[in-house]
Structure 1
Amino acid sequence: MSSPAGDVHLRDLRYFVAVADAASFTRAAEALFVSQPALSKQIRALETRLGVRLLDRGAAGLVLTAEGAALLPHARRLVDDWTRVREEVRRAGTAPMLLVGLQTTVGRDLTRRLLAATREHGASMQVRLVSWSDASSGLADGSVDVAFVWLPVIAPDLETRILSREPRWVALASDHPLAPRPEVTMTDLADEPFVALPRSAGALREFWLASPDRGSPAVVAAEADTAEGAIEAVASGTGVVLLAEGNARLLARPDVVCRPVSDLAPCELAVAWRRGDTRELVRAAVAALTGATDDADAGSGPPAPPTPRATPRR
């Protein structure tokens, strides 16, 4: 190889990572939308600048040399870092936005309060509906900044503050035998087929099946990724589903009736955010929802709310 000549270009590192990951010039060229000869030329140029051979064609196909294996993690990190820097630069000139995750219709005047708080901080707000299959309501993968969640949420990297405690109700098809009753018990529902959250919802699935309050496992007739899907299954007679009192009113429709379940503990609606996220907009969002005064210490995280109160029935 010739001696090093000049600085390495980020494009060459990106091409090298693609070839190393694909173990093929052909597949890497297709992924990069460049011709194979052009890609081979760039890799040779990179090897020339570094003064080492990075790839060998062996009996098993394309393999990294020792030098190539040493370069790969550093090249990958540089490419990833530049991608993040580029996105930050692109966002720098735009107004801040609060991304809010939710899995069911929230109502309860909560989104209006959030919107008012974001506008006070010169920001905008975007609401994203997240499937029940994501127990973090979009927080885990960073797609939202704060989220409305129903407890329990088993995620050690999330902080939560309870916003309301509400009785649990059950949704039934309008012609269900239990529909005429003013309220029901878990004994009444013990043998009923249930519409469940996806298994990936974990502890939340078990909570809405009332598993801790049963003598035997629930009969699961179907699973639903959204509240609307669950109510549709109820309307068709597939099964019944537990829901919060407030959502029973928000999701009301003529072919479904909702009744309180008298012997179940209430459910808890909370606001959640990633632990350690002390951005001003996130702090303001939590303060607006909990009614607390924001703390001047940015390292303390969003403040705790006053003692939670049950949301008045509407």
Structure 2
Amino acid sequence: MDLDLRKVRYFVAVAELLHFGRAAERLHIAQPVLSRQIRALEKDLGTELFVRDSHGVTLTDAGRQLRDDARQLLDMADGTRRRVLRAARGPRRLVVGFRAGVVVTPALRAFAAGHPDVEGNARRVEWDDQERLILDGTVDVAFVRRPVREEGLELRPLYSEPRVAMLPDGHRLAGKQELSLADLDGETWLHYATPRPGALPIRTIEEKFECVAAGTAVTLVPRSVAEQYSRPDIAYVPVTDAEPDQVLLAWAAGRRSPLVTAFVEAAQSLG
């Protein structure tokens, strides 16, 4: 039995909203049609995905498993569609994602030297979309930072780099030559993907700058970020016992692409 991706998309809408009416509105279809499609999917799979009762809609164990797997499945299907359309349009193109602080120009130049007929483009990615943009085909390969959700990805470690504290310029520790994590005990922290007690959630490096400069919180950043982003109201101090930041190349697992292979080789050749 092959999964019907349209039914899977319908399922994801209901699984996210846990409400057939609101899911139907999101999908721009009638609720009875949506209900029939979900029933058909359950019949295809041979199991119930939702518990429907007077209290509402909840996921079964099978439904939770499909919800966890479906997003990756749909992202990969979208990626295939994008790459096919891109190939049909031509000319050949390689889109390389990168996180803040990562310099992609040397790798793109090394790749272009052997592939002058390929258009190479760079696109910034963030911590919360780096995996999705690879799987859905928005980027072909990306320089990512840990933590990384590895499902569906091939990963190739490139290098690690020290982390430094990002502090407001008037901070009590801003003039130090180096720090330890213990020196930062009691500070309010910013966080991306890995929460810590009392930390403030943010999404982009720009949000980090504004929060730190305002004295709201402190954070750690890779040394390359400190080297690339200088502001008079922010100080950077090395933290000797902070876990190094890891940079990896990532691309969709199982995808056979000579261009991605060539770019990975070019990036690794730079040492």
TM category (shorter chain) comes to: 0.5 to 0.7
Unaligned ranges ≥5, structure 1: 1-13, 15-26, 33-59, 74-80, 207-216, 293-308, 310-314
Letter in 2 for 1:117: F
The verdict on how the C-alpha distance between 1:260 and 1:231 changes in structure 2, with shifts beyond 3 A counting, is same
Partner of 1:151 in structure 2?
A: 146
CA separation of 1:281/1:178 partners in 2, compared to 1, >3 Å: closer, same or farther?
A: same
1:184-199 correspondence to structure 2 within 5 Å: 184-197=179-192
User: How many residues are matched?
Assistant: 212
User: Structure 2 regions of 5+ residues with no counterpart?
Assistant: 1-5, 7-23, 45-76
User: Is 2:260 aligned against 1:282?
Assistant: yes
Q: How does 1:1-314 map to 2 (within 5 A)?
A: 88=84, 91-107=87-103, 110-118=104-112, 120-121=114-115, 122-136=117-131, 138-197=133-192, 201=193, 205=194, 217-220=196-199, 222-291=200-269
Q: Residue 90 of structure 1: CA displacement?
A: 6.7
- Give the superposition deviation at 1:249: 1.0
Is this contact kept in 1: 2:164–2:239, CA < 8 A? Answer: yes
Asked whether the 8 Å contact 2:165–2:239 carries over to 1, the reply is yes
Counterpart CA distance in 2 for 1:102 and 1:196 is: 19
Which has the larger Rg? 1
Contact kept? 1:131, 1:137, Cα under 8 Å: no
Moved over 3 A (4+): 60-65, 84-91
- Residue 153 of structure 2 contacts residue 250 of structure 2 at CA under 8 Å; is this kept in 1? yes
3-state SS in 2 of match to 1:193: coil
Cα distance per residue 1:235-257 (max 9 Å; x no partner): 11111111111211111211101
TM-score, scaled relative to structure 2:
0.66
Mapped to 1, the partners of 2:161 and 2:147 lie a distance apart of 14
1:13-57 deviation per Cα after TM superposition (whole angstroms, max 9, x unaligned): x9xxxxxxxxxxxx99xx79xxxxxxxxxxxxxxxxxxxxxxxxx
Give the aligned residue type for 2:267: L
Q: TM-score, normalised by structure 1?
A: 0.58
Q: Is the 8 A contact 1:194 1:241 kept in 2?
A: yes
The DSSP-based 3-state class of the residue aligned with 1:285 is helix
